[in-house]
Each structure stands twice: as C-alpha cells, then as structure tokens.
Structure 1
Amino acid sequence: MRIGFIGLGVMGRPMADNLIAAGHELSVYRGRTDLAAHVCASAKEVAERSEVVILMVPDTPDVEAALFAPGGAAEGLRAESLVIDMSSISPTATIGFAQLIDKLGCDYLDAPVSGGELGARDGTLTIMVGGRPEVFERARPIFDVLGKNVTLIGGPGAGQTAKVANQIIVGLTIEAVAEGLLFAERAGADPAVVRRALMGGFASSRILEVHGERMVNEAFEPGFRLRLHRKDLGLAAQAAAELDLALPNTAATQQLMNAAIADGDGELDHSALYRTLRREHS
C-alpha cells in the first residue's frame, strides 16, 4: 500500500521501518532523511500521496493539528482514503475526529497500541481498534505487520477507551512493582534476587519482568516516556469525571508521576517511578 506516516518518535520510527520492510511505500512528514521514505513538506502532501494515513503523535491536540490545521492531512484526503490514528488520545475527541473524517467520504480507525519501543521494533504490539468492521478488515494487512494481538474493540473511540484501561493497569502495576522492590531493599534483601524469586510466583508479570529489571539495574532509557504515561492517566481522570467514576489509585499514581516530572524525570522510562519513591524515602 501507499502509506503516509506522521509521527516518527520512539514508537513511530520502528513501526515505519517495519512497514517499509514489509514492502509498503511510505511518505512521511518531518521525517529523518535516513528513512527509506519520501519526505513531504506538509501533512497535506502526505495524505495526497497515500491511500492510508497513519498518525503516531503524542497527544490529542497533536492529532487534531495533524489532521485539521491549515495544511493538515484532511486537506489532502481523497474519497475512501483511510486514516488510522495509533496515538493514545481522548476517546471523546476521537469520536469527533472520526465524524469529521467520515463527512469527507473517508474512513477512520482509532488503533492505539501497547508494547513499548520493544514491541514496536519487533512488530509484536498489542493493537486496540475502534471503527467499523469492514474498515478494520481493510487495515488488517497493516496491523499484521505491526502487531501480534490485534482486536476490534467496538465502534469509534472504543480503541482509545481500551488503551486508557490498559494505561491504568500498567501504571498501577509499575507503581506496585516499585513499592515491592523498594520495600525489599529497605528491609535488607537484594531487590534483584527478590525479583527473580517473584517471577516464579503469583506476582509474576510482564511488568515485573521488564520494568522490574530496569528498576534493579537503574536503567531508565525510555521505552515509553513517563510524561506520556502521565498524560494517559490524565485522560483516564477526564473520562472518569465524565462517567462520575472514582479511580482513587489511578489518581494517586498520577500524583506520583507529577512528582517524578517535577523532579526532572519526565523524559525517562515510566519505570523511573522507582526513583521517585526512593527519593521520597531518602
């Protein structure tokens, strides 16, 4: 396919690489010149050159600007073009974006991902999709390159709702692993040995495996930046308010992330919450 890709960050760059390796022709906006893709001067030009436009940008305003600002992708879409937003943004805003794209005679899927930089590089992302089933099937060849666990959740916005739920679970679990390992350390046990022991028990998890190792090694190069996870928990708080729903532990973890960012750790991996807890008890 002729694919336009907007957002070549930590996640987007390896995703674009995998699409090129699979034989797709890519056009990108503000991309690095070492990528085997056509570099366009605007998001509009990306859309003009593409059947499918993929967005992988940080936040809701970034998606809105990439699509609808002057020179945005919406100006270059043709009838039956497909927009796939793989960013993690507001479910409510996503429904509005989908409606605007639909009015242009084009299709829209929200398809946020989980799996971090490692999953993006290995093509093993979990992809949560919102949209019409026939549009989902049209995009399936793209999703099969990028991920291994691809699920149509429901209509527009449902993919983003699933991603918010994912980020609640991941964020709270990272915080729990950080507390457990810090407790082990302060009680006089080697947290690395405790982690290995727990990997054989009921506390075992992917987060204990990957992020627990980062914590004991104090290796916090970003697979997923802490400031972006804080943004996602902000989306959870916003949606919870709209639903009159209490999420007390989500709120507490968001506050811990606020402290981490205030301490200058926003660009580190989200497993750096361990550093924040250690500082609070130093």
Structure 2
Amino acid sequence: MYLSLLKALLSLLTIGRLVYATPVPDRVDQADRVDDSTVLVPSEYYPQGNPSEYHSRAISVSTTGLPFGFHVRDNSDSNDAADAEAPFKEYVALAEPSDGTGLVKRVEFRMRRVPGWGATWDGHIQEPSNSGWTKATIQGFAYQGYLQVMAEAPNAVTMVSALWIPGQGVWLGTIVHDAGKQVFPQQAPTMAPLLWGQIKDRVITGTTSSKYHAEDMACFAYERYLVNKIGPNQNYPQGAYITSFGRYNTNNAASLKPACSSSSHQINPPCTVTMFAMGIDYLNS
C-alpha cells in the first residue's frame, strides 16, 4: 500500500511542482521561502474580502498546455468570498515578481455581470507591488476573464478586453449588450468623460449589434473607478495597454484578438483610433 501511495505522489509531482500558501503576518519576501518547491503565497485581491488576507491553499506552478501562464483547476474549498460565484472552478493567475527571488504571487479575481446592464460583464484586478506583470500577463487576464464569462454564459458570443494601467491594476470589460447599450451613453459622459469625448459621435458601419465594444467597457470600468476624472484633452497614464480575448461568432475560435479586428463589427471611429487618441497601446506584439 505504501509503495502505491509513493508511486501516486511521484506521478503527481511529474505533472507540476506544487506551491503551498500558508498564513503569514507580513508580505511575501525572500525570508518566506521554505525550500525549492515551497513558498508562502498571498491572495492579493478579493472583490469582497480583505486584500491583505492570506489563505492556505495549493496551486500548481506548471502551466504546460495552458495559454498565457494560467492554470484552471478544480476548486479545493468553498471558504472564501472569491468562491461565491463559481464554487466548482478556480481560475488562478501566476505572476513572477520583478525582484528576482522567483517567489510566486497569486492573483484571483471574478468577472461580474454589471447590475442592470444585461449580458455585460466587468472586472478589476489590483496590481501588487513588484508584480513583474508584462503584456503576456495582461493577455492572460483577458483569457481568464473570458473563461469566467463562458462558465456563466456558455453560448455567449463576446470578447473580454483587459486594460492595464501599470502600477494601478487591470480593468476588464465585455461587449456592451442588452440594457447596457442604453445605460452606457447615459453614464459615460460623467463617469468616463475622456472615453465619451472620443466615442460620443460613433456610428456603426458593419453588422455589429452594439456600438460599444469590449475595449470601451474596459475603459469605462477604469474611468468609473477614478475619483479624479481624466479631462477630455488628457491621456491615460503612461504605459497603458489593452488586449482582448474571445470570439466574433459561434464559428470563430476563441483566441487573443487585435483591437477592432473583425471586418463585420466595424464602427467609426474604430477602436484603434480611440485607443491611440487616449494614449493606450493596443498592439499584442
């Protein structure tokens, strides 16, 4: 029996090195390393919880076969606020800090269906200090957000855009659908004045059902978050970057997509012009 257990353990370890998080009173640093395979990992962000709270859970560092450094695993518990909306799956983002210690920081977030907006979602991820995030990390957040939307609405045809403001965080949004198409132009002039100044005269030139794309919703989520709004003649903070993941229709494979890249979903001015005017890098390379 013991031999069988040992074989099972060795088999598990060949799949991916496991990292265990245990409660610690301070931030994760080099002193928190236990050995080559065990470090102390904080939960950096919970929409309904304490951002400084630490949780004891196992995550896999190995992400072979999964795009953009994300590992989707069966949920191992139901004891935190982040589990409330998806009790069977957890979407775990892995990012290496830039201090060179190799310690793993774990970031969790949940996409939410915006109340009163119908099939429209947004999300927010607070960036930890020394996050080590890159464009690939942000592309991973867009992918993760898309997985969450699909878990709630498997038949949805949508995109998830992730807007990164370095040092602050990431704001996510989907294509604005249903009641959101009426609410967006009502709220944007005051909640997102810079964005609205760029898109208030937008017209549809293709077959898209919505004038407001996922990139717009991500920008709206960011500007809505700000206490001091960005003026109409200003730009987003330096280094702002946006990327999208999703599908154009049921026959289109979900993947990383360039901004406003579907020929049938054209708007004027297009997203690329809007992003450039606001100082947002939208290239995936």
TM-score by length of 2: 0.29
TM-score by length of 1: 0.29
